[in-house]
Amino acid sequence: MAFVGMTEEKMRVGLFVTCLVDLMRPRIGFAALRLLEAAGCEVVVPSTQTCCGQPAFNSGDTRVARALALKLIAEFDGLDYVVVPSGSCGGMIRAHYPQLFDDDPAAAARARALAARTFELTDFLVSVLGVGGVPGDFEGTVTYHDSCSGLRELGVKAQPRALLAHMPGVELKEMAASEECCGFGGLFSVKFGDISTRIVDRKCDNIRATGADAVVLGDLGCMLNIEGRLRRRGDERTRVLHVAEVLAGED
Amino acid sequence: MRSQAMFFKARAGDKLADRQLQANLGKAKSRFVEGRAQAVADYDAAPGADFEALRDAASAIRDRVLGNLDVWLETFEDKARARGAEVLYARDGAEICRLVVDIARRHGVTKAAKSKSMLSEEAGLNEALAAAGIEPVETDLGEYILQINDNEPPSHIIAPVFHKSKEEVAELFARTHHTPKKDDIAGMAREAREVLREHFMSAEMGISGANFLIAETGSVALVTNEGNGRMVTTLPKVHVVVTGIEKLVPTLEDFSTLMRLLPRSATGQRISNYVSVLTGVKGEDDLDGPEHLYVILVDNGRASLVGTEFEPMLRCIRCGACMNHCPVYQSVGGHAYGWVYPGPMGSVLTPLYTGIENALDLPHASTLCNQCGVVCPVKIPLPELLRKLREKQVELKLRPWRERLALRLWGWVASRPALYGFAARTAVRYLNRLAGGTDRIRALRAAPEWTAGRDLAAPEGRTFRELYAERVRHEGRTTR
């Protein structure tokens, strides 16, 4: 594993910003970009990228999921790594792309090759780059929500906490049941809104009980769900932040 | 049992509005979830012990059985017959009922004492017995409570009254037994025991399920906490076991491996209060035991899963850990699911056993958080199987046409970057107009269920791709 700075050539890293970040929160994409560049990577952002296909995959429409997977595999071909500021989309590529092509060995091999080079952002910074510091200067207490796919598909748990520990102004106060689902589940929250609301209420209670200034997490889906419920409950104080924003600081 | 699974959404809505149920679910959840976590931690604390390795070993045992199910069934059959048991096969629920009623008639049975059996729920056995003039008496405390509460169905596979509070049971007992209301569980259990003792003594037949069938010895293994299973299987002169064909394990050694997992996963116990391994009829030197033993091996949809992508579901040892840890089950309880098996395992089994078209909501009623998958003692990839059922629904064109069209259209657009960019820019501007200069949208017609319970934060204003393209023009960045 080549450490940045030890070799002449910079590591070429493709950034998959994800469709939700593109649409709702571009600043998370730029925060990820800053973090990768600060760590010495040459970041490539394929301009044709759209969605990883997870909504189709989870809805049972494998035809659409395969088409979008093939598109993404081609777009990120030839790069050293692919980094995703989302455990959910990262999990789609790492854990599920290879399964999509059971009947197409050539495509399956390409999917496996991409999967092996794809990392969730904090996992990449810690496990691949071994970064020893981050540019952000956030001050305050935070609590961390472990998003399901990142945690259970990619093993993202210690990495974001290790990065936050580099920030002297950040105090981490763990919430109860941080590993429990927030109730987002993609289209689940649209199809079964009332059940989803009950689940996210438990998450909001656990967040509030810590008294933290902000809940920090690594997935925009959970973020929209938790922020939306906190605000609807009348909580205007607790900030809901993507870990990339906290780590990268203001542009 | 007639399935109500097609009404999941409406039933779930009722359960969410039931404040008593919500309070009960909260308490029961923490007991089981914390219990399992502690049991696993304690297990791993012993030198050389590894719960994960145990899960691997257990799923390998289950797969070994399923790979040669016919052979293990024959082995079991031979061994059980050699010890005096009669082994029968039932294709479906109706056949179970017919066989059990026939056996009861043959032995002049008027009352049958039952220990817990989910398969008898699949078959609607109690109704069939009652219709034939045979009185079924549930002797598992939870099942007994449900039976005296107008035959209410269980809401959990190992804790049938998961949905009830102590207070509710106390009132039911006082009402049914005409006794002063008690406020302690021990007192209520004693009261039930007194009622049930008479039934144990007078029942001519005992009906039980089986946690495992052990092929090499032809034995039936029962795992219980109340001891009622022992009464049911030893006191009456006839014992009928009703169980699924997938409950086989090859050897006693395999059984002991699975027993390290089952109680820990289910209730957080190192071992259940009673573990019975019953082999054959009463022997000459035995003091107790049934004179007649019938083992009814049931298919009811199981065999059709062998060799398919759903075969891993047959590994299930019915511990209930998946539902205990499921955020959806924790929110709506077991009755919302509408058939015998609730939670993630139920959302897989119900469509497979009762028809995919009869349980369309269940595979979708999951966030796919995989909490179930990581606690399953036999490593059933439950989210994977739920997703495969969603695929089946799409293949069979069982999804609403609007949903199918929306997905196809979205997929078509997402495959065309220029068009997608335009659509995304348009969507952002539309959402911002809805936000009306504020930072959030309070009602969104395209996703009414979302905004019924939460706001939607307004988008920042422009898409990442727009902003990045601008930056590239200014700075000459790398792109492709």
Q: What is the pLDDT of residues B305-320, one digit of tens each?
A: 999 999 999 999 999 9
**Average pLDDT of the residues in B98-103:** 98
Number of residues assigned to chain A: 251
| Window 71-110 of A, Cβ < 8 Å to B | 71, 75
Number of other residues whose CB lies within 10 A of the CB of residue B470: 11
Same domain, A109 and A189: no
pLDDT digits (tens, 9 = 90+) for B8-27: 999 999 999 999 999 999 88
Residue B288 burial (CB < 10 Å; 0-12/13-18/19+)?
exposed
Round to whole Å and give the CA distance between B438 and B448. 19
Q: Are A30 and B369 a contacting pair at CB < 8 A?
A: no
Report the pLDDT value the prediction gives residue A1, as an integer from 0 to 100: 42
- Tell me the chain A residues in contact with residue B460 when contact means C-beta distances shorter than 8 Å: 24-27
Report the pLDDT value the prediction gives residue B468, as an integer from 0 to 100: 97
Note whether ipTM > 0.90 here.
yes
Q: Is A5 a member of any domain?
A: no
For A154-232, list the strands marked E by DSSP.
170-172, 214-217
Same domain, A156 and A215: yes
Residue range(s) of every CATH 3.40.50.10420 domain in chain B: 38-303
| Interchain contact B365–A (C-beta under 8 A) | yes
- Tell me the chain A residues in contact with residue B407 when contact means C-beta distances shorter than 8 Å: 55-56, 59, 61, 64
Q: Which residue of chain A comes nearest to B449, CA vs CA?
A: A193
Which among A71, A181, A191 has CB closest to B364? A191
Query: How far away is chain A from the Cα of B342, in angstroms, using its nearest Cα?
Result: 15
Q: Is A19 a member of any domain?
A: yes
Same domain, A112 and A88: yes
CATH of residue A55: 3.40.50
Same domain, A56 and A101: yes
| Interchain contact B107–A (C-beta under 8 A) | no
A42 bridge partner residues: A12
Q: Which of A198, A223, A224, A236 to mutate to test the interface with B (most CBs of B within 10 A)?
A: A198
pLDDT digits (tens, 9 = 90+) for B178-219: 999 998 999 999 999 999 999 999 999 999 999 999 999 999
Query: Token digits for A217?
Result: 């997490």
Q: Are A60 and B462 a contacting pair at CB < 8 A?
A: no
Does B480 score more than 80 pLDDT? Answer: no
Amino acid identity for residue A64 in this structure = V
Same domain, A156 and A98: no
Residue with tokens 């899960």: B55
Q: Are B370 and A152 a contacting pair at CB < 8 A?
A: yes
Same domain, A106 and A160: no
C-alpha pair distances (Å), B43 with each of A164, B51, B274: 32, 7, 20
| Interchain contact B406–A (C-beta under 8 A) | no
Report the pLDDT value the prediction gives residue B479, as an integer from 0 to 100: 61
- Tell me the chain A residues in contact with residue B30 when contact means C-beta distances shorter than 8 Å: none
Among candidate residues A127, A144, A159, the one where a domain is terminated: A127
- Name the strand (E) or helix (H) holding A107: helix A105-117
Among candidate residues A94, A127, A160, the one where a domain is terminated: A127
| Interchain contact A158–B (C-beta under 8 A) | no
Q: Are B450 and A189 a contacting pair at CB < 8 A?
A: yes
Same domain, A159 and A76: no
Q: Tell me the pLDDT of chain A (251 aa) as tens digits.
A: 444 445 557 899 999 999 999 999 999 999 999 999 999 999 999 999 999 999 999 999 999 999 999 999 999 999 999 999 999 999 999 999 999 999 999 999 999 999 999 999 999 999 999 999 999 999 999 999 999 999 999 999 999 999 999 999 999 999 999 999 999 999 999 999 999 999 999 999 999 999 999 999 999 999 999 999 999 999 999 999 999 999 999 76
Q: Is A1 a member of any domain?
A: no
Same domain, A99 and A175: no
Query: How far away is chain A from the Cα of B106, in angstroms, using its nearest Cα?
Result: 50
Question: Is domain B38-303 in CATH 3.40.50.10420, yes or no?
Answer: yes
Same domain, A209 and A138: yes
pLDDT digits (tens, 9 = 90+) for B250-284: 999 999 999 999 999 999 999 999 999 999 999 99
Determine phi and psi for B85, rounding to 5 degrees. -85, 150
Number of other residues whose CB lies within 10 A of the CB of residue B131: 11
Query: Token digits for A54?
Result: 């997870």
B223 bridge partner residues: B275
Amino acid identity for residue A166 in this structure = H
Q: Are B9 and A192 a contacting pair at CB < 8 A?
A: yes
- Tell me the chain A residues in contact with residue B392 when contact means C-beta distances shorter than 8 Å: 60
Same domain, A123 and A140: no
Report the pLDDT value the prediction gives residue B477, as an integer from 0 to 100: 66
- Tell me the chain A residues in contact with residue B16 when contact means C-beta distances shorter than 8 Å: 194-195, 198
Which among A57, A148, A224 has CB closest to B457? A224
- Tell me the chain A residues in contact with residue B467 when contact means C-beta distances shorter than 8 Å: 26, 30
**Residue among A230, A223, A190 at smallest CA distance from A206:** A230
Q: Is A3 a member of any domain?
A: no
The C-alpha angle with vertex B186 and arms to B181 and B189, in degrees rounded to 5, equals 75
Q: Is A98 a member of any domain?
A: yes
Report the pLDDT value the prediction gives residue A4, as an integer from 0 to 100: 47
Residue with tokens 């809104």: A193
Q: Are B367 and A47 a contacting pair at CB < 8 A?
A: no
Among candidate residues A81, A109, A127, the one where a domain is terminated: A127
Q: Is A155 a member of any domain?
A: yes
Q: Is A225 a member of any domain?
A: yes
Report the pLDDT value the prediction gives residue B75, as an integer from 0 to 100: 98
Determine phi and psi for B309, rounding to 5 degrees. -65, -15
Query: Token digits for B11?
Result: 């039933």
Q: Are B462 and A26 a contacting pair at CB < 8 A?
A: yes
Same domain, A118 and A151: no
**Residue among B334, B211, B325, B323 at smallest CA distance from B261:** B211
Q: Residue A112 is part of which domain span?
A: 12-127
Query: How far away is chain B from the Cα of A229, in angstroms, using its nearest Cα?
Result: 4
pLDDT digits (tens, 9 = 90+) for A2-60: 444 455 578 999 999 999 999 999 999 999 999 999 999 999 999 999 999 999 999 99
| Interchain contact A40–B (C-beta under 8 A) | no
Report the pLDDT value the prediction gives residue A101, as an integer from 0 to 100: 97
Q: Are B459 and A30 a contacting pair at CB < 8 A?
A: no
- Tell me the chain B residues in contact with residue A75 when contact means C-beta distances shorter than 8 Å: 480
Does B118 score more than 70 pLDDT? Answer: yes
Query: How far away is chain A from the Cα of B444, in angstroms, using its nearest Cα?
Result: 11
- Tell me the chain A residues in contact with residue B362 when contact means C-beta distances shorter than 8 Å: none
Q: Are B387 and A225 a contacting pair at CB < 8 A?
A: no
Q: Are A188 and B366 a contacting pair at CB < 8 A?
A: yes
Count of structural domains, chain A? 2
B339: left (phi over 0), alpha (psi -120 to 50) or beta: beta
| Interchain contact A44–B (C-beta under 8 A) | yes
Q: Which residue of chain A comes nearest to B415, CA vs CA?
A: A68
Which among B327, B389, B450 has CB closest to A180? B327
Same domain, A69 and A116: yes
**Residue among A159, A167, A175 at smallest CA distance from A123:** A159
What count of CB pairs under 8 Å joins A to B?
Answer: 203
